[in-house]
């Protein structure tokens, strides 16, 4: 996927359709001069609907549709004929997309399955025709309901990546290199911070034809929860990852302190994130001998297991897959 083509946040003006007005009409036939009211109901205004599409990975296609205006419903007519519904607008989005109200920030719809449809902005109801208001004491009502207005609002479409494993680490921790080795993904790799500025996804082939999805996400920096660096743009993507793999590079000055900073940023952003399954791995471990590995282990509490691996030499890559698979499939 082209880096420039990954769009995960779109602001859109939405307007659902107005409901059609009910009809005021009285039946007039040759032998029934006083046939009574027969005004039909107005049609519903068009909805704005989000629909899941598993073949989409970005919101790029919405960049050129900043105004979504659904069709109004048609008015009712004589002979109890109801007006036609306004045409709905159906927007296809990647799985993991949420629709939010810009003013309140509240999540209104959430798309997690292929083909799932959710009415986001409801069209106005059509008005009742005068035939609905006839009673024994009022047999010729000369009024009907107008249609309800549509809803106008500025909305946010936001994509949160759906992946089994999310890679968490500082910039240049080796996340992209790991993904390129462990999957067929080809993320950009370079020796400077923020090489990855948009998420990359890779499918990891496991044993017996099984597989799982890993996401290489933009690196955290201290203060990310307050929006520093790539801030919230990164953090929102890990909300849907059931397993988080913390990558700490072997050449870090203080491995445990780096882990604590990462952990605290997740906690400040959303305390629910720290309840996820987690694993700590030391990348670039081809730089370490057994003595240095022992020193790094001593930096961490004894109950925190570490996994040492090297993407360059592919040391312990298979055992890393085994541990991730086990985490993904163990009971919550």
**271 pLDDT more than 90:** no
Asked if 178 and 321 touch (Cβ cutoff 8 Å), the reply is no
DSSP string, 158-213: EE----SEEEE-STTSSHHHHHHHHSS------SSTTS--S-EEEEEE-GGG-EEE
The helix-helix angle for 255-269 and 290-299 (nearest 10°) equals: 40
Residues 223, 225, 227, 230: is their CA dihedral positive or negative?
Answer: positive
**155 pLDDT more than 60:** yes
**Locate tokens 């920030």: which residue?**
105
The three-state secondary structure class of 291 is helix
**197 pLDDT more than 90:** no
What pLDDT band is residue 66 in, cutting at 50, 70 and 90? confident
Asked if 319 and 293 touch (Cβ cutoff 8 Å), the reply is no
Q: What is the largest CA-CA distance in the chain?
A: 106
pLDDT for the residue numbered 121: 97
Please state, in angstroms and rounded to a whole number, the distance separating the CA atoms of residues 82 and 62.
34
Please state, in angstroms and rounded to a whole number, the distance separating the CA atoms of residues 180 and 302.
31
Mean pLDDT of 160-180: 83
- Name the least confident of 51-55, 211-215, 246-250: 211-215
For the domain spanning 1-159, the CATH number is: 2.70.210.12
Asked if 223 and 269 touch (Cβ cutoff 8 Å), the reply is no
pLDDT for the residue numbered 33: 72
Mean pLDDT of 286-301: 92
What pLDDT band is residue 226 in, cutting at 50, 70 and 90? very low
More confident residue, 174 or 69: 69
pTM of the predicted structure, to 2 decimals: 0.69
Mean pLDDT of 156-183: 84
Asked if 11 and 156 touch (Cβ cutoff 8 Å), the reply is yes
What's the start-to-end Cα distance of the chain, in Å?
33
Mean pLDDT of 19-41: 88
Tell me, yes or no, if the two domains 1-159 and 165-329 fold the same way: no
Asked if 127 and 42 touch (Cβ cutoff 8 Å), the reply is yes
Asked if 110 and 77 touch (Cβ cutoff 8 Å), the reply is no
- Name the least confident of 91-100, 263-272, 278-287, 291-300: 263-272
Mean pLDDT of 206-234: 65
Please state, in angstroms and rounded to a whole number, the distance separating the CA atoms of residues 40 and 77.
5
What contacts 119, CB < 8 A, 6 or more positions away?
47, 48, 49, 109
Domain ranges of the chain: 1-159, 165-329
Mean pLDDT of 19-43: 89
Strand order, beta sheet including 97-101:
67-69, 9-15, 152-159, 97-101, 107-111
Q: What are 319's two structure tokens?
A: 């055992």
Please state, in angstroms and rounded to a whole number, the distance separating the CA atoms of residues 46 and 30.
38
Cα 287–chain centre separation = 39
Strand order, beta sheet including 48-52:
89-93, 48-52, 117-121
For the domain spanning 165-329, the CATH number is: 3.40.50.300
What pLDDT band is residue 1 in, cutting at 50, 70 and 90? very low
Asked if 50 and 104 touch (Cβ cutoff 8 Å), the reply is no
Mean pLDDT of 146-160: 93
Residues 271, 158, 1, 224: is their CA dihedral positive or negative?
Answer: negative
pLDDT, tens digit (0-9, with 9 covering 90-100), for 67-84: 999 999 999 999 999 999
Asked if 127 and 82 touch (Cβ cutoff 8 Å), the reply is no
pLDDT for the residue numbered 332: 63
The CA–CA distances, whole Å, from 127 to 20, 42, 48 equal 6, 5, 20
């Amino acid at each position: 996927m082209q880096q420039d083509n990954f769009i995960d946040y779109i602001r859109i003006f939405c307007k659902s359709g107005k409901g059609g007005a009910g009809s005021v009409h009285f039946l007039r036939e040759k032998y029934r001069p006083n046939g009574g009211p027969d005004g039909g109901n107005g049609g519903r205004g068009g909805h704005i609907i989000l629909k899941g599409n598993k073949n989409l990975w970005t919101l790029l296609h919405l960049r050129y549709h900043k105004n979504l205006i659904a069709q109004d419903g048609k008015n009712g007519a004589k002979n109890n004929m109801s007006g036609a519904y306004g045409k709905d607008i159906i927007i296809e989005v990647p799985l993991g997309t949420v629709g939010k109200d810009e003013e309140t920030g509240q999540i209104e719809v959430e798309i997690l399955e292929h083909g799932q449809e959710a009415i986001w902005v409801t069209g106005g109801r059509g008005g009742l025709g005068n035939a609905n208001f006839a009673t024994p004491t009022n047999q010729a009502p000369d009024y009907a309901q107008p249609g309800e207005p549509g809803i106008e609002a500025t909305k946010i479409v936001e994509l949160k990546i759906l992946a089994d494993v999310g890679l968490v680490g500082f910039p240049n921790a080796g996340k992209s290199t790991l993904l390129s080795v462990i999957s067929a993904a080809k993320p950009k790799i370079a020796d400077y911070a923020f090489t990855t500025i948009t998420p990359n996804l890779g499918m990891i082939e496991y044993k017996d034809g099984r597989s799982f999805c890993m996401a290489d996400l933009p690196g955290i920096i201290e203060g990310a929860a307050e929006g520093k660096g790539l801030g919230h743009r990164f953090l929102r993507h890990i909300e849907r990852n059931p397993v988080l793999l913390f990558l700490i590079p072997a050449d870090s000055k203080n491995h445990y302190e780096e882990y604590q900073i990462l952990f605290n940023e997740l906690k400040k952003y959303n305390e629910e994130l720290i309840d996820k399954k987690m694993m700590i791995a030391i990348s670039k471990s081809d730089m370490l001998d057994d003595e240095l590995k022992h020193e790094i282990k001593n930096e961490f509490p004894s109950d925190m297991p570490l996994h040492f691996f090297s993407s360059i030499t592919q040391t312990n890559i298979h055992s890393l897959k085994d541990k991730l698979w086990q985490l993904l499939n163990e009971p919550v």
